[in-house]
Structure formats: structure tokens, C-alpha cells
Copies of this chain bind each other. A is one copy, B any other.
């Protein structure tokens, strides 16, 4: 467990709400960051948790200064511009938990990836902010599974990718609080290519399964 009980969530959509609500339930203090502090979904999040006194809202920059851990819960493509707006100085040494995928809907459905194969969104963020500590994780599952993996019929796997061992350890502790028993450390941030490219299979499995509440389990030899 990290001692740090403050986390910023960047983004107010379904993923941001799901993550932020889970963090509040786990006892964290959470600031939901958005472009405009008065974002109505961020205000609704704070209002819904008013009795706890632990939910707050702010601009992206305020969220970045609020916490040592930030979770990116916006569309993959917008993360780099949001982080650029915050600025490298404010991101130094921060743990940026990137749970997004660089989905490209411009060619219709199903989406392709806008960064792929010899690069990944995780790597691109790390290269853009060398003094931040990027950890890629949770991007292989729907938000409901992210925060409640035990809803599935059996234990399944989640992955972490990143260059900073201490940052990964902090994130692994957080994942365990979410209900992930044994996150698999794939290695440095280049391994984010693997989990981001798995999305191409995930989006094909969704209609087969009939809902987005599924995950993969690595099955090994006897």
C-alpha cells in the first residue's frame, strides 16, 4: 500500500467516474480534473460524495498539483494535449497511471489505433515527459471490470508496463486494492504496445461475449 491517500483523476466521463467513485470507496481523497473546474459532471461527483468530504474538483493543472498520483481517464488522443497544458515542470516525478487506448474512430467502427506496432501511447507520454513516471495498466478491460475484477467468473489477469520500478510497485498496490490479486509486470513502457494492440482483439470479443464485462486469463502449462 502506498501511504499517499490523494489521487487525481483526469477526466469526467464514464471511466473517470468509475475510477473516482472506486477510489472514494477505498478511502482515498480524490480530485477530479477537467478543462473547466465548473464541469458539471465533476461538480456532480463532488456533490454525490459530499458526506465524505474527500471529493473535490479542479482544473487539470489543479489536479496535477493536488496529488502525486494521476490517473488519465480521457480519450487516448487528448491525453498528450492535456498533459502539455499542465506542463512538464508540474508533472516532474508524478506517477501518471495511463489506463487509456489510442483508439481511432475516424475510419468508422471498429476503431483502429492511432499509435501502433513500433510505438504506443504509453511510450509517447513517457518520451514527452521524461521526468514523470508513466505506468500503463488497466487498458485491457472495461471500466466496470477495472474497479471490480471479482465480478468475473474467475480470477483474470491485468498488466503493468513502466520504466520506474517504484512507481509500478505503488500502482500494483493500488490494483490489489481494486481487487486484482497478482498484476503481471510486463517490463518497461515499450511493453504497453502489447496491451494497447490487444485492444484489436478485445473489440472483436465484445460482440462475441455480448457485453464488455470480460477479461483474459493467462493459462500456463500443467
Contacts and interface: CB of A to CB of B under 8 A. Distances in A.
Interface stretch (A30-38, A41-49, A207-215): A207-215
Interface string A199-213: 011111101110101
Contact of A216 (B153, B154, B216): B216
A153 B116 CA distance: 32
How many identical subunits does the complex contain?
2
Contacts of A195: 201
Nearest to A202: B194
Contact of A218 (B185, B186, B216): B216
Given A113-B117, A209-B218, A201 B204 contact: no
Contacts of A204: 186-187, 191, 193-194
A117 to B, nearest CB: 5
**A: interface residue count bin:** 35 or more
A112 B117 CA distance: 6
A3 interface: no
A54 to B, nearest CB: 30
A184 interface: yes
B107 A112 contact: no
A105 interface: no
B217 A217 contact: yes
Nearest to A191: B204
Nearest to A144: B221
Contacts of A92: none
27 contacts: A112-B118, A117-B200, A151-B222, A152-B220, A152-B221, A152-B222, A153-B219, A184-B205, A186-B205, A187-B204, A193-B200, A194-B204, A194-B205, A195-B201, A197-B200, A198-B201, A205-B218, A209-B220, A211-B221, A213-B220, A214-B221, A215-B219, A216-B216, A216-B217, A216-B219, A217-B217, A217-B219
Given A152-B220, A153-B222, A194-B200, 14 more contacts: A112-B117, A112-B118, A154-B219, A156-B219, A186-B208, A194-B203, A194-B204, A194-B205, A197-B198, A209-B218, A213-B220, A213-B221, A214-B219, A214-B221
